[in-house]
Structure 1
């Protein structure tokens, strides 16, 4: 029986300099029935030319304009499950290096049960290759989407069990075709932050499960030190977690979340940046907070049964 078909989707916007590691290590995988698609999200750095010259076996899906994270990957999912008729799509960041058994390890778990819709594995820090960034995500009693399991822990074999996870980051995630056919792809309301969270919530509501395997390993070029917080990121950090709650949770839960988000996520955070002489970031936090509230009020068709 042939192996299930997999399309690896690497979204890239002006990330030509990152593709060498990610594409070459995926090409070295021991799985036989897979192809790679670089989704060029309106890049202006010559990504398409670079890929076609250096990796002639890799297909580049060229988008004429940047559709954002969700929009770009949705085009990739259409290609994978539509044109390529793949059984699975493996969504992955472009700033990674992967183990040679990552695809086979993910697929073997996905094939265990029909209700397994997402599979992820270990993510290590690229610059600290034995230190974990995440092995899945846990539930938070107020924020719902909790922190990373295993973050900054040295891998000493403490996460060696194949198991179900509450949520998972989509630094890399294997997606089953039946899930995509039933719940669709990303909601483009979430262009940055919480896009995978919302997708996983919808998938779980449809009966699918998220699984983790310790046998899949990648190394992510994400620094362990806290980098700059941009006004762009601050805006979506304040806005999108509330949008997910507005879409999916009942009024009582929203009230609890609202006051936490108001005092800790907005008031306290904005004061920190004001004291650091960064009023622009402080303003964006408040703008994101009120933007989410206004969306909830304007979209009562979606939120009425929960909140308004």
Structure 2
């Protein structure tokens, strides 16, 4: 990040994340202490002491307590009107930062004015890369790829077999960690409120790409302690199916 102070913000949406949120916040604050950075927590009605823990341990963090669970996108949208930054980071509570990803990502957006969203390499705990979607969702990628004969569609969806070692334009920017121009985020009114959880990042990506580039930036990385716990129960699966149907009803049932 250049010597001129650029206002940067970040938001983490929490829901009963007391067991993991301290590690996330500590790592984010550690690597943003030299920047003009403001961190928001949008809590969706936690009952496990998440809010109390954050207020006690991190008084510099701005906490918004939502009266009910607004979901992923709704939780992030709660802070839209408060943002006065130039760039905004969307951060999952299970993200852990071990290097300065913020400065390089902001620097890239500063130079490349036709890019509006950027995501780094996302890593597993064991040091392997998480192969996350980089193409627009289609029926073959989201449904057929879950069946053994069509597993290769997942590799196409994530572009796993490509050598993406330099900044590369992508269709889909994962919601677990990305930066977006705040002006663009506000103009689009944040995430589409029709999605409670799942597919809202694909939807936002598609809206952004109508006018701007989205970039996969593998020069830096974060760790994502992702266990897909919400898809291990019936409620989570039904939410995923509902969001997928909403996405295809909006953008078309592309095979």
TM-score (norm 1): 0.71
Native 8 Å contact 2:95 2:177 kept in 1: no
Determine the C-alpha separation between the residues in 1 that align with 2:96 and 2:62.
19
* Runs of 4 or more above 6 Å deviation: none
Q: RMSD between aligned alpha carbons?
A: 2.5
1:134 corresponds to = 131
38-47 or 132-141: which moved more? 132-141
Tell me whether 1:58 sits opposite 2:61 in the alignment: yes
> What SS is found at the alignment partner of 1:212?
strand
Task: Return closer, same or farther for 1:198/1:161 CA change in 2, 3 Å cut-off.
Answer: same
Native 8 Å contact 1:135 1:212 kept in 2: no
What is the aligned counterpart of 2:247 among 244, 249, 255?
244
> What SS is found at the alignment partner of 1:133?
coil
1:162 corresponds to = 167
Task: Return closer, same or farther for 1:10/1:231 CA change in 2, 3 Å cut-off.
Answer: same
Q: CA deviation at 1:140?
A: 5.7
Tell me whether 1:191 sits opposite 2:196 in the alignment: yes
2:37 corresponds to = 34
Task: Return closer, same or farther for 1:136/1:110 CA change in 2, 3 Å cut-off.
Answer: farther
Q: CA deviation at 1:122?
A: 0.7
Tell me whether 1:148 sits opposite 2:152 in the alignment: no
Q: CA deviation at 1:11?
A: 0.8
**5+ unaligned residues in a row in structure 2: which ranges?**
143-153
Determine the C-alpha separation between the residues in 1 that align with 2:62 and 2:159.
34
Paired residues in the alignment total: 239
Determine the C-alpha separation between the residues in 1 that align with 2:45 and 2:115.
33
Q: Deviations over 1:44-96 (max 9, x none)?
A: 222222112111221212212211111111002332x2xxx111110010012
Q: Deviations over 1:17-53 (max 9, x none)?
A: 1111100111111541112111111112222221121
Native 8 Å contact 1:103 1:216 kept in 2: no
**5+ unaligned residues in a row in structure 1: which ranges?**
258-308
Determine the C-alpha separation between the residues in 2 that align with 1:229 and 1:43.
21
Task: Return closer, same or farther for 1:45/1:59 CA change in 2, 3 Å cut-off.
Answer: same
Native 8 Å contact 1:133 1:148 kept in 2: no
Q: CA deviation at 1:223?
A: 3.8
Native 8 Å contact 2:171 2:206 kept in 1: no
Determine the C-alpha separation between the residues in 1 that align with 2:182 and 2:37.
14
Native 8 Å contact 1:194 1:240 kept in 2: yes
Native 8 Å contact 1:12 1:39 kept in 2: yes
Determine the C-alpha separation between the residues in 1 that align with 2:128 and 2:195.
30
Determine the C-alpha separation between the residues in 2 that align with 1:141 and 1:59.
38
Native 8 Å contact 1:97 1:219 kept in 2: yes
What is the aligned counterpart of 2:9 among 7, 11, 17?
7
- Within a 5 Å distance, the mapping from 1:69-108 to structure 2 comes to 69-79=72-82, 81=83, 85-108=84-107
